[in-house]
Each structure stands twice: as structure tokens, then as C-alpha cells.
């Protein structure tokens, strides 16, 4: 091999090595939120940090805060809603508006346990609004649910709750893979990956349909009686 041919091969090898280095860097620097699932995440805090940077769907364009979820990371009971509202978007905390106040009363006055002992999350972590104007809340679109739900799935896997209570249609339909509405499906116990699931009305739906005097409160109380009975059967005290 002459000197010219040797130099040519060295140059080609350097170019190849540089290209490989660039490929490795791009893999390493790829944002973690772009992953389709999060089995590699071992804690809620780590998962939260990934979610805070997420840009998987259009909701990232109008959010003020990512509303990841809060509560006891080893909770026996997990409540799952559809998505943040205005107050939640402003504070970064789930269920802190009027619907949140009602949920707190359901937990503390109905179930006789502290809200701090349960975990509360939503299917989507950013506020969905009509026409993306940030004014009127709406249920999350299917593409938004598909983009964001891996966070919820991993939350459930990490927390390992003994009972899940779904609040409203989007959470119930997603978790139970059903097309049935909450009116028909509530009042019974279902399963998600061997975890009992009890669907009930979303607190905001109760408020929109009579508020404190809503006839739906009686049905929600009926669902909470199912939760209480299941807690007793499973030996859950808080």
C-alpha cells in the first residue's frame, strides 16, 4: 500500500468515526419525554421531571404548568381524573379548584381518610381548552390521551395502589378500554391489571348538575360505599 492510499484510508476512518460519534451524541441527547413508555424510570420524582419538559402534544403550547399529580407515593387509593382545569394549570396541582374542594370533601368526609394519604392524578397533564384559547375547559382529544397516558401508566406501576377510583368518562374509558359512559358503568367494580377500579362521576360534573344539591351526590356516595367496603375487605385503614 502506498502512502497516498494509506492517508486516504485514515481520512475515511476519521470521517466514519466522527459520524458515529455524532449519532451516539444524538441518541444520548434525545429528550427523555420522547420515549413511548417509561419503564426505565424508577421514581415518581424522576418521572415528574421528564413530564415537566414534555412537548408530545399541542397542549404544551398553551399550558402554564404541567400538572403531574400529587399525594402519597405509596398510596392505597388512587384517584384519576381527565385533565387539569384553570386553577390547576395556574398552580401546577391537581384538583385544587371548586371540583378539587368537592373531591377533598368526598375523600375526607365520605371515606374518612386524609387527602394526603391518597394519590391524585389525571390522564393528561396539561389543560385542554376549547380551540386552544385557554378559556373554556374541554375533555382531552384522543391524540392528547395517547401522547400523555404513558405517564399515568407508569405512575400506577410505581405507586401500585390497591384501589383506583376513576373520575368521569375520559379516565374511565381509558383505563377500562370501554365505550360505555359513566352513567351506565358506575356502581360496579372493574379491574385494571388486577387492581380494582371503581368509576364515579367527576366532581365538576356534579357541580354543573346541581352543585351541593345535585341528585348525583347520592350516586357518588353509593360509589364511595363500594370503596369503603372494598377497603374493609382488603384491610385498608387509610
**pLDDT tens profile 72-105:** 999 999 999 999 999 999 999 999 999 999 999 9
Residue 11 reports pLDDT greater than 70: no
- The model's confidence at residue 15, banded by pLDDT at 50, 70 and 90, is low
Phi-psi label, residue 41: left if phi above 0, alpha if psi -120 to 50, beta otherwise: beta
Residue 28 reports pLDDT greater than 70: no
Rounded to an integer, the average pLDDT of 150-166 is 98
DSSP letter (8 states) at residue 167: E
The better pLDDT of the pair 9, 67 is held by 67
Residue 26 reports pLDDT greater than 80: no
What is the helix (H) or strand (E) element at residue 163, kind and residue range? strand 163-167
* pTM, entire model: 0.87
The better pLDDT of the pair 174, 27 is held by 174
Tell me how crowded residue 45 is: count the other CB atoms within 10 A of its CB: 10
- Tens of pLDDT, residue by residue over 175-228, are 999 999 999 999 999 999 999 999 999 999 999 999 878 999 999 999 999 999
Q: What is the pLDDT of residue 24?
A: 46
Residue 22 reports pLDDT greater than 70: no
Q: What is the pLDDT of residue 27?
A: 45
Contact 118, 79 (CB under 8 A): yes
- The model's confidence at residue 25, banded by pLDDT at 50, 70 and 90, is very low
Cα–Cα distance for residue pair 103/119, rounded to 1 Å: 12
Contact 104, 118 (CB under 8 A): no
Instruction: Show the domains of the chain with their CATH numbers.
Output: 35-234 (3.40.470.10)
Find cell 421514581 and name the residue.
43
Summary mean pLDDT of the chain: 91
What is the helix (H) or strand (E) element at residue 80, kind and residue range? strand 77-81
- The model's confidence at residue 19, banded by pLDDT at 50, 70 and 90, is low
What is the helix (H) or strand (E) element at residue 150, kind and residue range? helix 142-159
Rounded to an integer, the average pLDDT of 22-50 is 84
**Measured torsion, CA atoms of residues 149, 152, 157, 162, in degrees rounded to the nearest 10:** -120
Q: What's the count of helices (H) and strands (E) in the chain, helices before strands?
A: 9, 6
Amino acid at each position: 500500500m502506498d502512502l497516498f492510499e494509506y492517508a486516504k484510508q485514515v481520512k475515511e476512518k476519521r470521517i466514519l468515526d466522527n459520524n458515529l460519534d455524532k449519532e451516539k451524541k444524538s441518541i444520548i441527547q434525545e429528550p427523555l419525554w420522547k420515549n413511548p413508555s417509561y419503564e426505565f424510570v424508577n421514581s415518581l420524582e424522576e418521572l415528574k421531571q421528564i413530564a415537566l419538559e414534555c412537548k408530545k402534544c399541542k397542549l404544551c403550547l398553551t399550558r402554564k404548568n404541567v400538572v403531574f399529580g400529587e399525594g402519597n407515593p405509596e398510596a392505597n387509593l388512587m384517584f384519576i381524573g381527565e385533565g387539569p382545569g384553570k386553577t390547576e394549570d395556574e398552580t401546577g396541582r391537581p384538583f385544587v379548584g371548586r371540583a378539587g374542594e368537592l373531591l377533598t370533601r368526598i375523600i375526607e368526609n365520605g371515606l374518612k381518610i386524609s387527602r394526603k394519604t391518597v394519590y391524585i392524578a389525571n390522564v393528561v397533564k396539561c389543560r385542554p381548552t376549547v380551540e386552544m384559547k385557554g378559556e373554556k375547559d374541554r375533555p382531552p382529544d384522543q391524540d392528547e390521551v395517547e401522547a400523555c397516558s404513558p405517564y399515568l401508566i407508569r405512575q400506577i406501576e410505581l405507586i401500585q395502589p390497591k384501589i383506583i377510583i376513576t373520575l368521569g368518562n375520559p379516565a374511565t374509558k381509558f383505563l377500562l378500554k370501554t365505550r360505555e359512559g359513566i352513567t351506565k358503568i358506575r356502581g360496579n367494580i372493574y379491574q385494571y391489571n388486577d387492581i380494582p377500579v371503581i368509576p364515579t362521576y367527576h366532581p365538576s360534573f356534579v357541580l354543573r348538575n346541581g352543585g351541593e344539591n345535585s341528585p348525583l351526590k347520592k350516586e357518588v356516595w353509593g360509589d364511595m360505599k363500594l370503596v369503603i367496603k372494598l377497603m374493609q375487605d382488603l384491610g385498608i385503614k387509610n
